[in-house]
Structure 1
Amino acid sequence: MSNISSRTSPDNYFENFAVGQVIAHARGKTVTEMDNVLITNMVMNTAQGHFNEHLMQKSSGIAGFDTRIVFGGINFSMVIGLAAQDTGEQVLQELGMDKIRLKTPVHHGDTLYAFTEVLEKKDADRADAGIVRFKHYGINQHDKLVYEGERTVLMKRRNAWGSR
């Protein structure tokens, strides 16, 4: 049986990130009606703009939308998920997520793409890991910014974990 490090990317340990680095993540994800309605109902979000098409069509002049909008928690989760292969494989602990901004409404059928900027790197209180602060961005298929937020993680150091 091979070791665990042979199953993960060799280039996303603490040492591989540089402050100012920008990563364009490879995948995109189209937001489906199922994504929005299922999760919105599962978390008991009662804002009808997420699941009541008739209401949104009737109030389009007031709300500015004529179709349901996707729950922001889904937008946030998808962008972080799209960034995970490059920024999450060697994470030991999520330390925080803040400065979250939902910038443009997302609708069923929109496709999200993710980018990440490395904001900060610093030593942790343990020798086998360091702390990295990322800023994640999500854009739609029209290159409109839909999400931005910061995420701080405790990340493995290659010299301590790379050969396990």
Structure 2
Amino acid sequence: MSKTNPGNYFEDFHVGQVINHATPRTVTAGDVSLYTALYGTRFAVQSSDAFAQGIGYDRAPVDDLLVFHIVFGKTVPDISLNAVANLGYAGCRFLVPVFPGDSLTAMSEVIGLKENSNGKTGVVYVRSTGTNQHGELVLDYVRWVMVRKKDPATPTGHNSVPTLPAALHADALGDAAPILDRDAYDVCLSGSPYLWGDYEVGEQIDHVDGMTVEEAEHQMATRLYQNTAKVHFNQFTEGQGRFGRRLIYGGHVISLARALSFNGLANAFHVAAINGGRHVAPLFAGETVFAWSKILDKAELPARDDVGALRVRLFASKDFPCQTFPGEAEAGYDPSVILDMDMWLLLPR
């Protein structure tokens, strides 16, 4: 009997299955520094203990997306080790701030299964949660992933697609941000004078800067999250696959786009929720990522006058600057688009 883990194939899942994922992870200041080195993120709240403490945090919280990637990484050996591609996200909420020294564990429940018509793969829908050492939920999200079948010749009959929300209502956003001391919020130190009230629904923002992805750094990032998906690491197998090379982890693209969005959304200090997201096309090493955002909605939050929420649609493109705002049209996505992400962001009022 083999003692190694070949990963789950599509046939190994069933709706209602609950999986407790291995390897709890204590988040350290070293993780935070490496995350900054990989993406160049500049949001002041996550960069400075002094700034964060001045506005009401105990200290600088861990970047929301670093929390997401660590929890996501826990799920990979059980959910997507044999994935072809991660397809999308929905209903993601960041519920409690995470600080260096906190330990995270992850659990997933299979909520849907749909075999693809080619018989070779199927889509697995899971709701995954991340919990800290106090038993508090820090993160809750749904994702769906295309997974290889073990036996393409034998149909499974799975055809269960869960109903997912198109977007979370602003009232459903968690309380991961403390009540801010607005008088202490220094816009010179944060990098921009533009607060929640300065943005308009329908406004489009070209984030201007671009970042080229190198082979070593995207593999280092994926290892940081203990994400073991074969498509990101094994050139021996991927060289014989559809693209002939390793795919860059989709979460790497999300973090790149979020970091680039600082130029135009510097005071969007907290990702409160991800309403939905789609990896439109693959990214490979040597390609350059650009980003732009569209403001979809604005919302006041219940019983809070210190912050407001912006619903932002964040696009990333490859090898194509975003002055023309490449996105989705009636004929489909612009060929340059690699990411389409719908988020609620918090800004001071």
TM-score normalised according to structure 1 size: 0.84
What is the SS of the residue equivalent to 1:76?
helix
Q: Confirm whether residue 53 of structure 1 aligns to residue 84 of structure 2.
A: no
1:24 aligns with 2:24: no
How does 1:1-164 map onto structure 2 within 5 Å? 9-10=5-6, 12-40=8-36, 42-57=38-53, 59=54, 62-63=55-56, 65-160=57-152
* CA RMSD, Structure 1 to Structure 2 (Å): 2.0
8 Å contact kept, 1:18–1:118: yes
- Asked if the contact 1:40–1:71 (Cα under 8 Å) also holds between the matched residues in 2, the reply is no
TM-score normalised by structure 2 residue count: 0.41
Gaps of 5+ in 2: 154-349
The CA distance in 2 between the partners of 1:8 and 1:158, in whole Å, is 17
Greater relative contact order (Cα < 8 A, sep 6+)? 1
Q: Which runs of 5+ in 1 are unaligned?
A: 1-5
Q: Tell me, what secondary structure is at the counterpart of 1:147?
A: strand
Between Structure 1 and Structure 2, which shows a larger proportion of helix residues? 1
Q: CA deviation at 1:156?
A: 1.0
- For the pair shown, the structure with the greater C-alpha radius of gyration is 2
Q: Please give the per-residue CA displacement for 1:95-153, whole angstroms capped at 9, x wherever unaligned.
A: 11222211100000101100001010011131111111111100001110001111111
Q: Distance in 1 between matches of 2:150 and 2:37?
A: 41
Counterpart of 1:36 in 2: which secondary structure? Answer: helix
Using the alignment, how far apart are the partners of 2:34 and 2:149 within structure 1?
38
Consecutive aligned runs of 4 or more in structure 1 exceeding 4 Å deviation: none
- The total of aligned residue pairs comes to 152
SS in 2 for 1:38: helix
Is contact 1:97–1:152 with CA below 8 Å preserved after alignment? Answer: yes
Percent of residue pairs bearing the same amino acid type? 34
CA contact (8 A) 2:84 2:146 kept: yes
